Structure 1
Amino acid sequence: MAHEFSVTVYYEDTDMAGIVYYANYLRFIERARSEIVEQLGVDQRAMRAEGIVFAVTRIEADYVGSARLGDRLTVVTTHQPVGAVRWVFDQQVRLGDKTIFRAKVTAACMSTEGRPTRLPAKIRALGGV
């Protein structure tokens, strides 16, 4: 099932030409992933207190269009746990019906000391892990 997250492009998101600065697409998709975690009922503050965090370990990104000041965008995300530690997200930023940015993001569940650890049960259950 795809998750949708809305983003409005503000002045702070743009460069001098009024076009969304390339790094801000990463911010948009990060917010969408955070919303998914929250909707699944996973409390990242409680995880961190227990010494567990999510860390992005890989991003493949394609910039195929652009957005401008005032545009209303939709981040469309599908996701799947892969193994006991990794969580893979396929994300698109859409302007209307046109994809302007797409990324495949791999996150790992890690201890705060940097060691891999199992994904929370709610996430593992999504993929039968």
Structure 2
Amino acid sequence: MSHRFEVRVYYEDTDLAGIVYYANYLKFIERARTEWVRGLGIDQSRLKAEQGLVFAVRRVEADYLTPARFDDVLEVETRVEELGGARITLAQTVRRGDETCFAARVQLVALSNEGRPLRLPPLLRRAIGAG
């Protein structure tokens, strides 16, 4: 199962050379993850308010493969790679057409308001198709 999210590159996303500034790819994939969770029917604000659960990025492995430029329309694909007790590992790819610009492996952890690991809620596991 994968989720797709479209993003256009704005001038503010680029550097002096006119290419996407490297850190902005992290913003693009963050937006895509938020929309992926929303698409699963999970309200993250409600999850925090009712269960005290938030998601945090624990680890990112990123490969910058070819530059995206101003006004490009990019597609971010998000796929679940692994699901643990309190952890989700995602593969996220940013493409311009058939060309891959950026690829990342992102590990998320579920945390309590106090910063302690929490088990992923059954609602999320069911939405992902893992429980």
TM-score normalised according to structure 2 size: 0.92
Cα distance in 2, alignment partners of residues 124 and 80 from structure 1? 13
Count of equivalent residues: 129
Superposed, which structure 2 residues align to 1:93-108 within 5 Å? 93-108=94-109
Deviation of 1:120 (Å): 2.1
Tell me the equivalent position of 1:114.
115
Cα distance in 2, alignment partners of residues 21 and 47 from structure 1? 32
Tell me the equivalent position of 1:35.
35
Deviation of 1:26 (Å): 0.3
- 1:31-85, Cα deviation, whole Å (9 max, x unpaired): 0100011011111111221321000001000001100101000001111552221
Tell me the equivalent position of 2:45.
45
Cα distance in 2, alignment partners of residues 97 and 46 from structure 1? 37
1:81/1:123 contact within 8 Å kept: no
TM-score normalised according to structure 1 size: 0.94
Cα distance in 1, alignment partners of residues 33 and 108 from structure 2? 10
Cα distance in 2, alignment partners of residues 77 and 46 from structure 1? 22
**Identity rate of aligned residues, in percent?**
56
1:10/1:70 contact within 8 Å kept: yes
Structure 2: gaps spanning 5 or more residues: none
1:81/1:124 contact within 8 Å kept: no
Cα distance in 2, alignment partners of residues 28 and 109 from structure 1? 21
Structure 1: gaps spanning 5 or more residues: none
Tell me the equivalent position of 1:19.
19
Change (3 A) 1:80 1:42: farther
Cα distance in 2, alignment partners of residues 122 and 99 from structure 1? 32
Of residues 79-88 and 65-74 in structure 1, the stretch that sits farther from structure 2 once superposed is: 79-88
